[in-house]
A and B are shown apart, each in its own frame.
Chain A
Amino acid sequence: MNEDIAQLVRAGLDELTDGATVPSGLAARARRQHHRRNAAIGSAVTATAAAVAVIAVVAASLAAGSARGRTGRANLDAVIISRAERALDAGSGDVVQASSSSPFNGTTIRVTSWSDSAGSRTQLAVAGQPPQAAGYVLHRGSVTFVTVDYRSRTWQQMSLPDAKLASRAVPAAVAPIQIIFARELQSVTGRCAAAGQSRPSLITFSWAAYIRHMLGCGVLKVAGHGTVDGRAATKLIAVGLVQVPYSAVLWVDRSSYLPLRLAFVPLKGVAGVTQMQVDLRWLRPTRPNLAMAAILPAPSGFRQTRWGS
């Protein structure tokens, strides 16, 4: 009988593990988590040592408990962040849809972008008016920026041979909401850049790349749970921010760990700063979804005009 159940175990585990492949980037994630853990333990030990020096034995035992708590907390953060990174890697072929709304002159501007690894298209719509679209196409290291004006039924394009050189050459009219978010995100992740971690491009903006950057640079901590549009979600908050008047909040799906919402929430008592929020959807790379992310070809019947005219 033992042999029978052993055979069942074999067959069951064969079935469970069939076709399993190691996720790409697992070793890199392990290294990042290793560094994050070291940093967390280092700060906890430093805090403990300081407490020992000041308050002696009784306080030291309390601080040691605190250090253990911080380490456990760091582990929870690390697991959630690691799973979110894995989800991003697994969804790297997806089309990312990002939607946000902002009040403007008594009306609302709705900005929606679709992006994939080949490019991005952003549509800007003001209530009651034809939309405008802007985006870029990446091809063999070069980048082509495109704007489409649905009012005048015209479109423009500009190509640069090297996408890396594009950072200062492109007007902010291209994907303005991304530019705003990108600047804030660059503030949030500023200390990662200071530590030598390279930042994703500001112009060829990718939500996945920026969120991965945020996750990787250790500014996010688990802050609780909630729902986003009816979906159970885990809340991550960027902590230790300096020089920015808000907190950055990232919600990730509790099942898939894919990011659902990114918001910049003004700190209490800070005036003149409004909340910015973008809702994210991860779409399968079907033909219609990929077409949403393609800014070219321009709509048929539209006339091409000179860039900047």
Chain B
Amino acid sequence: MAEQGGRAVHSRQALDLEGLLAQRGDQLMRAAIALAGCRQEGEDLLQAALERVLRRPRRVDTDLEGYLRRTMYNLAADGWRRRGNWRRKLPAVAVQAAAGAPDATEGVDLRDAIVRALRLLPPQQRAVIVLRYWEQRTETETAALLGCSVGAVKSAASRGLQRLRELADPLPDDGPSPLAPLRAPATKERR
């Protein structure tokens, strides 16, 4: 790492990604899985973030982990896969991507339903939900990490939670919703 104009600048060779992963890799991996929704895609996300860091080593300030995390959050929020045209080809290859779809097994656990529903949220909403309710970041921190306004975070969080309720609601033929106990009474009254 070399100092330039008071700002720490990493050369590509100096980026100690191996050292960072040895110390903080498991935490980063868990964050990546939460953002991506499954382990394999979590690995892809973390690897994509590492590559992005390698591509832009000069943007890394003294906090390599912070930069890597921000990169990962932003890639997740942007739906990093959806941009390339190869994304459209991937489902044909990665059959386990279908694991995100709800199955019809009875007695689906409530938490599983929520996690599966989380995968179906738009990337921005999913990233906000993970940062706000799993990493317990404040709205201000979340906004700073994702590079958006606090209002956008509030809006995404509210819509995300609402959408989670809808998505985790099974079809009528599948029996009662695992989220039924959480439904607002007002909703029933309006019906």
**Is B26 an interface position by the 8 A CB rule?**
yes
Q: Which of A17-25, A100-108, A198-206, A209-217 contacts B (4 or more CB under 8 A)?
A: A17-25
Point out the residues of chain B lying under 8 angstroms from A79, CB to CB.
Answer: 44, 86, 90
CA distance A22 to B132 in the complex (A): 23
**Is B85 an interface position by the 8 A CB rule?**
yes
Point out the residues of chain B lying under 8 angstroms from A57, CB to CB.
Answer: none
Q: Which of A27-35, A43-51, A260-268 contacts B (4 or more CB under 8 A)?
A: A27-35
Given A8-B111, A20-B29, A22-B26, A33 and B51 touching (CB < 8 A)? yes
CA distance A4 to B111 in the complex (A): 12
Q: How far is the CB of A7 from chain B (nearest CB, A)?
A: 8
The answer to whether A16 touches B21 (Cβ under 8 A) is: no
Q: How far is the CB of A63 from chain B (nearest CB, A)?
A: 16
Given A16-B33, A20-B29, A72 and B40 touching (CB < 8 A)? no
The answer to whether B92 touches A6 (Cβ under 8 A) is: no
The answer to whether A17 touches B44 (Cβ under 8 A) is: no
Q: Which of B3-11, B93-101, B144-152 contacts A (4 or more CB under 8 A)?
A: B93-101
The answer to whether A30 touches B54 (Cβ under 8 A) is: yes
Point out the residues of chain A lying under 8 angstroms from B29, CB to CB.
Answer: 17, 20-23
**Is A132 an interface position by the 8 A CB rule?**
no
Point out the residues of chain B lying under 8 angstroms from A232, CB to CB.
Answer: 95
The answer to whether B96 touches A6 (Cβ under 8 A) is: no
The answer to whether B93 touches A20 (Cβ under 8 A) is: no
Given A20-B33, A37-B51, A9 and B118 touching (CB < 8 A)? yes
Residue ID in chain A nearest B37 by CB atoms? A16
Point out the residues of chain A lying under 8 angstroms from B28, CB to CB.
Answer: 22
Q: How far is the CB of A8 from chain B (nearest CB, A)?
A: 5
**Is A97 an interface position by the 8 A CB rule?**
no
The answer to whether A12 touches B115 (Cβ under 8 A) is: yes
Q: Which of A80-88, A157-165, A187-195 contacts B (4 or more CB under 8 A)?
A: A80-88
User: Across chains A and B, which 7 residue pairs bring their CB atoms closest together, nearest first?
Assistant: A22-B25, A30-B50, A76-B86, A12-B111, A17-B30, A27-B17, A72-B85
Residues of A within 8 A of B (CB): 1-2, 4-6, 8-17, 20-23, 26-31, 33-34, 37, 68-69, 71-73, 75-76, 79-80, 82-83, 86, 222, 225, 232, 234, 254-255
Pairs across A and B, CB under 8 Å, 28 listed: A5-B161, A5-B165, A6-B133, A6-B161, A12-B110, A12-B114, A16-B115, A17-B30, A20-B30, A21-B25, A21-B29, A22-B21, A26-B25, A26-B46, A26-B47, A28-B18, A29-B47, A31-B17, A31-B54, A33-B51, A37-B51, A69-B85, A71-B84, A76-B86, A76-B89, A79-B44, A234-B93, A254-B95
